[in-house]
Amino acid sequence: MKKPLTALTLALVCALPLGANPPDEPRPPAEGQQHETRMLHHLLQMEQEELAQLRQTIERIERMTPEEKALLSERIGKLDKMKPERVEAMRQRFEAIPKEKREAMRQRWLEMTSEERIEWRKKLRNMSKEERAEVFKEQGFLPASGKPPKGPKPPRPPEE
């Protein structure tokens, strides 16, 4: 009598967790899972060229120092805070440049080291509009045609 009772007790104890949790109903995924699923779905719809560019961007970010990441984050934040009209004007100006030239400009920028980019920005800040336009033309970067965008200028870094 003891053995069947012990066996029955053990079976009930082992089965208790099964009875305590009713069959899982479909639960909405956690917030992180929803984001991950949407991102995965978006990636699956992307063209091979877009995926390759995304991979290059991720690799470039991985190579950045914490300081470079902070600077980039700050510049993106400034864009986010810009008035939509100004952002649209910048976008239209950029899209007015032929695609081949835009891609060449982008490639040239990506080939520059972080130090070269910082030096390039410093150099441009110290030039007049005319000098900048000439350098842009010579160097193959975005031409400074039309009126400059309105709004506050970013503060200049302290000269060394």
Task: Using the predicted structure, report yes or no on whether residue 158 has a pLDDT greater than 90.
Answer: no
| Spatial CA neighbour of 72 closest among 82, 55, 60, 89 | 60
Q: What is the 3-state secondary structure (H, E, C) of 17-77?
A: HHHHCCCCCCCCCCHHHHHHHHHHHHHHHCCHHHHHHHHHHHHHHHHCCHHHHHHHHHHHH
Q: Please determine, for residue 18, whether its predicted confidence score (pLDDT) is greater than 70.
A: no
Q: Render pLDDT for 66-83 as a digit per residue (tens, 0 to 9).
A: 998 998 899 899 889 999
Q: Which residues contact 101 (CB under 8 A, 6 or more apart)?
A: 140
pLDDT value at position 160? 47
Amino acid at 91: R
Residue 62 has pLDDT above 90, yes or no: yes
Can you read off the two tokens belonging to residue 139? 């160097």
User: Looking at the predicted structure, is the pLDDT value of residue 28 above 80?
Assistant: no
Whether this prediction's pTM lies above 0.85 is answered by: no
Average pLDDT over residues 106-135: 84
CA distance 139 to 117: 13
In this prediction, residue 146 has a pLDDT band, given cuts at 50, 70 and 90, of very low
CB-CB neighbours of 40 under 10 Å: 10
Please determine, for residue 144, whether its predicted confidence score (pLDDT) is greater than 60.
Answer: no
State mean pLDDT over 34-55: 91
Average pLDDT over residues 47-67: 91
User: For the chain, which residues make up each domain, given as ranges?
Assistant: 63-96, 98-140
Helix (H) or strand (E) holding 82: none
pLDDT of residue 77: 92
Q: What share of the chain has pLDDT > 70, as a percent?
A: 67
pLDDT at 55 over 80: yes
